[in-house]
């Protein structure tokens, strides 16, 4: 090869390598936050809709770790997250009271639904969730519990208690804990003809329904509120509090609330923004 051409080729290769290295360095330096959140916000598809809008406006990426609300709050307590986006208000308020979070802000709500076989062998269909849980216990009907300290699990335990059933002391005959997220719990229920409590958002996005349907809905006790909390840098100085606060401010702003409201599946709205109403 001509020496001049060889030199030019080497220069071109060197420039390409340098540009690649600079691009990789810039990607590594791009701002991001770690969000501890719930399986319902991820498995419903909401984050796939919501987070790109935030990143486009701010340039800040969001890396989500989806798990039960209790686990998400524990992750933040350890300093492994910059922000939490969860749905168990008593647990959230305790998290803030203990000094782990700066402020809890209401963001949106949906509701829980009791799902089960369309034939409804335990005859629970209606609008009273406590009565339905009592019928499930009396019939020994198969029921899949998340059993994972999630917001959904916490709600389920409240409903059992309202029905006069202490699952900690004596589990009903058909009661089984999966220790899993909402999607897997729905899959287990669908494949075994069991009942399960689900958030409506995940149910609407769930594809493997089989002969399952919503049997109990509309009870005010099924209301499901979500909140966002920035982790307190006084507990964990490494927290990216500035970037995390930008997300917290954005998701309750008109732009963030409009993005939440616009997320639909088959024309049905999954989450309802209420940052100004709480």
Is the pLDDT score of 2 beyond 60?
A: no
Q: What is the mean pLDDT of the chain?
A: 91
Query: Residue 271 and residue 237: Cα distance in Å, rounded?
Result: 33
Is the pLDDT score of 268 beyond 70?
A: yes
pLDDT of residue 278: 54
Fold that domain 28-109+225-273 belongs to in CATH:
D-Maltodextrin-Binding Protein; domain 2 (3.40.190)
Q: Name the nearest CA neighbour of 84 among 120, 145, 41, 44.
A: 41
pLDDT tens digit sequence for 18-33:
445 445 444 457 899 9
pLDDT of residue 26: 46
pLDDT tens digit sequence for 78-106:
999 999 999 999 999 999 999 999 999 99
**Long-range pairs of 159-165 with CB within 8 A, sequence gap ≥ 24:** 159/129, 159/130, 159/133, 159/197, 159/221, 160/133, 162/129, 162/130, 162/133, 162/221, 163/130, 163/131, 163/132, 163/133, 163/134, 163/137, 164/134, 165/133, 165/134, 165/137
Which class would CATH give 111-222? alpha beta
Is the pLDDT score of 136 beyond 60?
A: yes
pLDDT of residue 276: 77
**Which of 57-66, 136-145, 165-174, 251-260 bottoms out in mean pLDDT, i.e. has the lowest?**
165-174
pLDDT of residue 30: 80
Domain boundaries, the chain: 28-109+225-273, 111-222
Is the pLDDT score of 239 beyond 60?
A: yes
Query: Residue 270 and residue 261: Cα distance in Å, rounded?
Result: 8
pLDDT tens digit sequence for 181-206:
999 999 999 999 999 999 999 999 89
Is the pLDDT score of 6 beyond 90?
A: no
Is the pLDDT score of 15 beyond 60?
A: no
Is the pLDDT score of 143 beyond 80?
A: yes
């Amino acid at each position: 090869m001509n020496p001049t051409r060889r030199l030019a080729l080497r220069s071109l290769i060197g420039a390409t390598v340098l540009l690649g290295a600079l691009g990789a360095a810039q990607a590594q330096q791009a701002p991001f936050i770690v969000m501890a959140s719930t399986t319902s916000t991820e498995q419903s598809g909401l984050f796939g809709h919501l987070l790109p809008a935030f990143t486009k406006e701010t340039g800040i990426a969001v890396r989500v770790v989806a798990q039960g609300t209790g686990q998400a709050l524990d992750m933040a307590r350890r300093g492994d997250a910059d922000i939490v986006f969860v749905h168990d208000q008593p647990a959230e308020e305790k998290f803030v009271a203990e000094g782990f979070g700066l402020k809890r802000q209401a963001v949106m709500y949906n509701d829980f639904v009791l799902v089960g076989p369309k034939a409804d062998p335990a005859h629970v269909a209606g609008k009273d969730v406590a009565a339905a849980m009592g019928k499930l216990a009396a019939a020994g009907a198969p029921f899949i519990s998340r059993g994972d300290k999630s917001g959904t699990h916490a709600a389920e335990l409240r409903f059992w208690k309202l029905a006069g059933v202490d699952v900690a002391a004596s589990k009903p005959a058909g009661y089984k804990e999966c220790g899993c997220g909402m999607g897997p719990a729905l899959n287990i229920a669908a494949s075994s003809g069991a009942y399960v409590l689900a958030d409506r958002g995940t149910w609407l996005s769930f594809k493997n329904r089989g002969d399952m349907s919503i049997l109990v809905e509309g009870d005010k006790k099924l209301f499901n509120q979500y909140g966002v909390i920035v982790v307190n840098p006084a507990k964990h100085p490494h927290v990216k509090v500035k970037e995390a606060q930008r997300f917290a401010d954005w998701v309750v702003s008109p732009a963030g609330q409009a993005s939440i409201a616009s997320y639909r599946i088959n024309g049905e709205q999954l989450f309802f923004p209420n940052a100004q109403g709480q």
